[in-house]
Amino acid sequence: MILARGKYKGPTNEIVSKCYSIVKNYQLPKIVNDGGEKDGTINMVPWLMKRNLSTLMPHYWDELKPLIETVEQLTNGNTVTFSWFNILPYGSSLGEHRHLKPNHSVFIYYPKCSDASSAFEFYENGSWISVQVETGDWIQVKNHVLHRVPKNYGEDRISIAFNV
């Protein structure tokens, strides 16, 4: 279930550049999929945790401050506790998962995607519901909602997620 949806008119080019810069400068590894192969997906969560570089989390970025303020207003003053970005190149996906920490909700912002990029999907009432997103969109879901991103058939799809 989508709790809220909107558009952030922030500096998307700078945000996208920052994501790629972190990948390059800190040599973020690609994710290994269920078949034991690297599918190209880059997720900074395990890397951040291992190296304790929390200051690189997107909710500390100046470019996202107005969005973070919106997030906190929509959640009655709850604060962002953790954030990260995912880069899904052509052919990669994100498996189904939930955010089980004692959070209020999860916000996902999309600084880069194309018409051919994969949708955000969530599970409700026994079926998967697809939500097409475009550059600048953000969505909010409850933390317990099962969600996934199917195989991406577009250019790199970048999402930034915030646990609130």
Mean pLDDT by 10 residues, the chain (164 residues): 91 94 74 49 61 78 95 89 87 86 84 93 95 95 91 92 90
Q: Which domain holds residue 91?
A: 2-163
Residue 35: predicted pLDDT:
45
Return the CATH number at 154. 2.60.120.620
Residue 134: predicted pLDDT:
94
Model pTM above 0.75: yes
Encoded amino acid at 41, one letter: T
Residue 37: predicted pLDDT:
45
94: closest CA among 35, 36, 150? 150
Residue 1: predicted pLDDT:
79
pLDDT in tens, 13-48: 999 999 888 887 777 666 544 444 445 566 666 556
Q: What is the pLDDT of the chain when averaged over all its residues? A: 85
Does residue 146 sit in helix, strand or coil?
Answer: coil
Phi and psi of 156, rounded to 5°?
-45, 135
What torsion do the CA atoms of 103, 72, 163, 67 make, to the nearest 10 degrees? 170
Does residue 157 sit in helix, strand or coil?
Answer: strand
Total number of domains in the chain:
1
Residue/partner pairs of 39-45 with CB below 8 Å, 24 or more apart: 39/91, 39/92, 39/93, 40/88, 40/89, 40/90, 40/91, 40/92, 41/86, 41/87, 41/88, 41/89, 41/92, 41/93, 41/94, 42/86, 42/87, 43/84, 43/86, 43/94, 44/84, 44/85, 44/86, 45/84
Residue 36: predicted pLDDT:
44
